[in-house]
Structure 1
Amino acid sequence: MQFTVLGSGAGLPSKKRHTQSYVLDSVDEINQYIMIDAGEALQHRILHTGIKPSKVRNIFITHLHGDHIYGLPGFLSSRAHQGGEDVPLTVYGPRGLAQWLEVTFEISGSRLNYPLEIIEITHGECIEMDGFKVHVHLLDHNIDSFLYVFDENDKKGALDPEKLKRIGLEPGPAYARIKNAETFEFNGETYHTADFTGPDITGRKIAVHGDTRVITTPEYMSLLDGSDLIVHEGTYLDGEREKAHRYFHSEITDVLENFKSINYGSLLITHLSNRYEDGFLDELEAKLPSNVYITHDFFEHPISRNSQGNK
């Protein structure tokens, strides 16, 4: 599983940073990509990757500001001509998303050749999809903006072939049947599969924020605790805490201070103002903890338990 930042900039795009779009690559786990936000020029960003639009089956929109949604109609339309025919897609997002897309498609005369479902989400709900439970939490922004926490389902532990060999059962097709059953029979005896498997594999937890001020409520902190990856905005990176608060955004020092009370694997800082030069960002990142990363367009981060990504 891997997290890719297609656009890392805030508000206005720059020559080096496009606006917000992320992809959670879960092809190895559930044979699909999960997209979070769809900033302007999303189609062009994807052309520079190996991502197949037809394998994007679920899109999660954090909020309806333009830098997070202006690439969505174009992506949905082009997907229809990039292997997406008859391949269903679901888009989740705040109230108003369905109306905006419906009007956009109607006025532009756009037609899709695949089933599209638009689901408007609310604070506190839990969405169940292939391989994940997705928790929805309202953030603190000047319009409704949401955090999505992707909780990967736990998996059964691997079969222990040595234990199976001890009862005389050699490797073969029977192993697959045994793993998917609670009990199995061999040589007239009934066995419990759990006695021949390792411990369950705990699913990973990925928390992706929309735009927000720093939040300190117990409910929010509990939801983030134990995340293997947190993605959080850092529109302000140079100590302007009051300005960040005034404009409903976050300053990196406040974010880091807030997360000291929870356990997490890695933290990606994104949604960066285009006023920050590369030199400043390099100096800042050198001072950060080793599990905190200032992202850029096409930043890739493998996700595993207590993951440490590549800068």
Structure 2
Amino acid sequence: MEKTFVRVLGSTNWLQTKMNDHSSYTLSDTILIDVCPGVIHHLLEMDVDPLKLKTVCFTHMHADHYMGLAPLLLYFRAATGRYDALTLIGPKKTVKESVLRALHFNTHDAPGDRADVCGMPTIIELDDGEGCSLHPDFEIESHPSDHAVPGVVYRFTHRETGRNVCFTGDTRYVPSFADWFKNTDLLVHEASSGAKPVGPNNEISRHSSVFDAIRVMRESGAKKLMITHINDSLRKDAIEIANAELGDRAFLAEPYKVFEF
């Protein structure tokens, strides 16, 4: 039976640290979920071929979640001469504009690298819970998040084994998550405010705390909880609370580690 796993490239919030990049993951080294700035370096450090990651799923298009798209595109161009092997998936209102911006960053002074010369990546715009069946190994489903910009949460179901993993990206608590994440094998949930309940400014930023992550896990019946998108200074208190409530079913997303589900 094929192993299914999440590889963590980074798991901090918008403030990078010496040992932790913005939140970004591979799914069984075939799909990228969000793209941190150091994506290529991290993959090569872990002996993962970036060219195998031809599908990228963006939870939303804030800079800390898609800033690594430009170097990813550049790597594909340098290694293969093409961009069109890539399939880029994300929220309908923002993903296309963001992809074009990343392409322009790479090609504005290099006419020979333009997409009309090197092939345009496939862009899939997800609208109101749409999914995608193009990936050979995983069925991809989405559901709206509640963040400061258009965003989606994802469920990836492995076709061969039926195992599945869900990613929240950035979002505040949403009651419908209880049904949508139901019985997932692994819930990767943000906890930007750590052990502090979200404050009055959450109406603007729309993030979660570890208490929200625990609540969603319990309401959905998720088997395991990976806590992510949390600054290093907040991690110790957050995981202590999660372990006190959930035991070893809760753990931190640690950079350069692989978690099977």
The verdict on a shared fold, with TM-score over 0.5 as the criterion, is yes
Q: Determine the structure 2 residue equivalent to 1:205.
A: 164
Deviation at residue 282 of structure 1 after TM alignment: 6.5
Deviation track 1:159-207 (CA, whole Å, cap 9, x = no partner) reads xxxxxxxxxxxxxxxxxxxxxxxxxxxxxxxxxxxxxxxxxxx511111
Moved over 6 A (4+): none
How many equivalent pairs are there? Answer: 247
Deviation at residue 72 of structure 1 after TM alignment: 0.6
Q: Determine the structure 1 residue equivalent to 2:20.
A: 17
- From 270, 274, 278, the equivalent of 2:228 is 270
CA RMSD in angstroms comes to 2.4
Question: Between Structure 1 and Structure 2, which shows a larger proportion of strand residues?
Answer: 1
Q: 1:280 to 1:222 in 2, by over 3 A?
A: closer
Q: Determine the structure 1 residue equivalent to 2:127.
A: 122
Question: Between Structure 1 and Structure 2, which shows a larger proportion of helix residues?
Answer: 2
Q: Is the 8 A contact 1:224 1:262 kept in 2?
A: yes
1:298 aligned partner, one-letter code: Y
Deviation at residue 261 of structure 1 after TM alignment: 2.6
Unaligned runs of 5+ in 2: none
Q: Name the TM-score, length of structure 2 as normaliser.
A: 0.85
Distance 2:100 2:120 in 1: 14
* Structure 1 counterpart SS, 2:43: helix
Distance 1:114 1:203 in 2: 34
- Bigger-Rg structure (1/2): 1
Q: Determine the structure 2 residue equivalent to 1:62.
A: 59
Distance 2:216 2:242 in 1: 18
Distance 2:260 2:81 in 1: 26
User: How do residues 100-111 of structure 1 correspond to structure 2 at under 5 angstroms?
Assistant: 100-106=98-104, 107-109=108-110, 110-111=113-114
Distance 2:83 2:102 in 1: 21
Deviation at residue 87 of structure 1 after TM alignment: 7.0
Distance 2:125 2:218 in 1: 33
Q: 1:77 to 1:86 in 2, by over 3 A?
A: closer
Calculate percent identity across the aligned residue pairs: 25
Q: 1:83 to 1:281 in 2, by over 3 A?
A: farther
Q: 1:257 to 1:101 in 2, by over 3 A?
A: closer
Q: Is the 8 A contact 2:84 2:122 kept in 1?
A: no
Unaligned runs of 5+ in 1: 27-32, 156-201, 304-311
Distance 1:134 1:116 in 2: 18
Q: Name the TM-score, length of structure 1 as normaliser.
A: 0.72
